[in-house]
Structure 1
Amino acid sequence: MYEFIKGTIEYVCPEYIVIENGGIGYQISTPNPFTFSPLFGQTTKIYTYQHVREDIIALYGFQLREERTLFKKLLGVSGIGPKGALAILAYGEPTQVIQAIENENEAFLIKFPGVGKKTARQMILDLKGKLQDIVPDYFPNLFNEGNIGNQENDTESLDEAILALKALGYSDKEIKKVSKELQQEKLTTDQYIKLALKKLMK
C-alpha cells in the first residue's frame, strides 16, 4: 500500500492525473482531476489508495488524508465501487454528504450517479454515526476561485468539464440539463465541474 506519492504533476485529463516520481509516471484517478491543474509542473504530494481486483490494479489519489478516509468508508458500502465513491467526493461538499447520511436523507443521496434507493439506504445503515473522524474543516477550497478562464479557452474548458462529468458517471441527458446554464459562464474547467455538480444535485 502506498501512503502517498510526491512528485511533479505531468498531465491532467478528465479521468485522471499523471504524477512523475523517479522517472516513473503514476496514473492516478481522482475525484476532480482539474483541481490539480493549478499545480501543473509543480511538486505535489498526493495521498493514495491502491485498489486491487482480479482484472485491475488502480491508484486513486486525494489532496488530503481525510478525503481518502471518506473514500475508503464509501467503498465499504455494498453497491458502491471506486467510480461511485469518486463521483460523491467530486461534489466537493462532504459536509452535505455526511449530513444527508446522518439525517437519513435518501432523496439527496440518490442524485449521485449509480446510487439508487437500495444503495442510499445501505450508505445510511453502514455509515450513520461512523463519520466523526471526517471533519468538514479539513475540506477547504484548496485553490482560490479567482482563476477565471479567458474567452478563447472557455469552449475548451467546458468541453473538458463535460468529459469529466461523463467519466464520473453522469448521463448525456443529465449533463444536457445543465449545459445551457454552463455556457453562459466564463470559468476554468474545475469551476465548470463544481458548478455543474451543484446544479445536478439540486
Structure 2
Amino acid sequence: MIAYIKGKVTYIQDDSVIIDVQGVGYEILCANPFVFQTSLNDEALIFTYHHVREDAQVLYGFKNQEQKSLFTKLLQVSGIGPKGALAILGSVNVSDFVAAVEREDDKFLTSFPGVGKKTARQVILDLKGKLTAMLSISHESADNQPAQKQSVEGLSEAQEALRSLGYSEREIKAVIPQLQKENLSNTDEIIRKALALLMKN
C-alpha cells in the first residue's frame, strides 16, 4: 500500500495532480486538485490511497490524514464507491461531515452528489460513533451546526450559479478552497466572493 507520495507538483488537472518523484510521474486523483496550486513546481507531500481493481490501479490523493481516513471509512459504506467518496470530500470539511453523521442529519448528507436518502441512512448506520475517535471535531463544529449546513448548501448553490454564468468546472474548482476558508454562509455573499476571485485569476 502506498501511504503517501512526496515529490514535485508538475501538473494540476481538473481531477488530478501529477507528482514527479525522481523522474517518475505519478497521477493522483483528488477531490479538488487546486488545493495544491501553491505547491506547483515545488515539493509537496500528498497522502494517498492505492485502490486496486481487476482492470485498474488508481491513486487517490488527500491534503491531510483526516481526509484520507474519512475516504477509507466512506468506502466501507454500501452504495459509496471511490468517486462518490471523493465527491463528498470535495464539498465539505471533514469535521462538518462527522458532526452531521453524529447528529443523524440525513438531510445534510443528501446534499452531496450521488447521496440519496437510502445511502444517507446507510452512512449514519455504518459510521455513527466510528468517526469521532479517528477524527477531531472542534467544539465550534458541534455548536455551529445550522451555520455549517447553510454554508455547505450555499456553496453548492453558488457553484450551480457560476456554472449557469458560463464558468467551467476547472475555474470553479480553483476558487473553492478560498471560498471554504472565508466560511461565508449566505449564497449571495459566496457568489460575490467567487466572482471577485474569478476576475483576479
- State the TM-score, normalized to the length of structure 2: 0.71
2:136 match = 135
**Alpha carbons of structure 1 residues 123 and 184: separation in structure 2 relative to 1, 3 Å:** closer
SS of match in other structure, 1:44: strand
Q: CA deviation at 1:92?
A: 3.7
Matched, 1:187 2:188: no
Distance 1:76 1:161 in 2: 32
Asked if 2 retains the 8 angstrom alpha-carbon contact of 1:12 and 1:34, the reply is yes
Q: CA deviation at 1:30?
A: 1.0
Matched, 1:36 2:36: yes
1:48 match = 48
Segments of structure 1 that go 5 or more residues without pairing to the other structure are 138-157, 165-176, 193-202
Matched, 1:19 2:19: yes
2:97 match = 97
2:116 match = 116
Distance 2:101 2:9 in 1: 34
SS of match in other structure, 1:59: strand
Asked if 1 retains the 8 angstrom alpha-carbon contact of 2:100 and 2:109, the reply is yes
**Alpha carbons of structure 1 residues 42 and 116: separation in structure 2 relative to 1, 3 Å:** same
Once the two structures are aligned, what percentage of the paired residues are identical? 46
Distance 1:6 1:60 in 2: 14
Q: CA deviation at 1:67?
A: 1.4
Q: CA deviation at 1:188?
A: 5.5
Asked if 1 retains the 8 angstrom alpha-carbon contact of 2:51 and 2:59, the reply is yes
Q: CA deviation at 1:65?
A: 1.5
Distance 1:81 1:136 in 2: 25
Distance 1:84 1:97 in 2: 14
Asked if 2 retains the 8 angstrom alpha-carbon contact of 1:87 and 1:112, the reply is yes
SS of match in other structure, 2:48: strand
Cα RMSD of the aligned pairs, angstroms, is 2.5
Q: CA deviation at 1:83?
A: 1.0
Distance 1:24 1:83 in 2: 25
Greater relative contact order, per chain length (Cα 8 Å cut-off, separation 6+): 1
1:150 match = none
2:126 match = 126
Distance 1:92 1:13 in 2: 21
Q: Deviations over 1:95-118 (max 9, x none)?
A: 221111111111110111111111
Distance 1:135 1:109 in 2: 19
Asked if 2 retains the 8 angstrom alpha-carbon contact of 1:14 and 1:161, the reply is no
Segments of structure 2 that go 5 or more residues without pairing to the other structure are 139-166, 175-186
Q: CA deviation at 1:136?
A: 3.9
Q: 4+ residue stretches of structure 1 with deviation over 2 A?
A: 161-164, 180-184
Distance 1:184 1:41 in 2: 25
- State the TM-score, normalized to the length of structure 1: 0.71
**Would you say how many aligned residue pairs link Structure 1 and Structure 2?**
157
1:60 match = 60
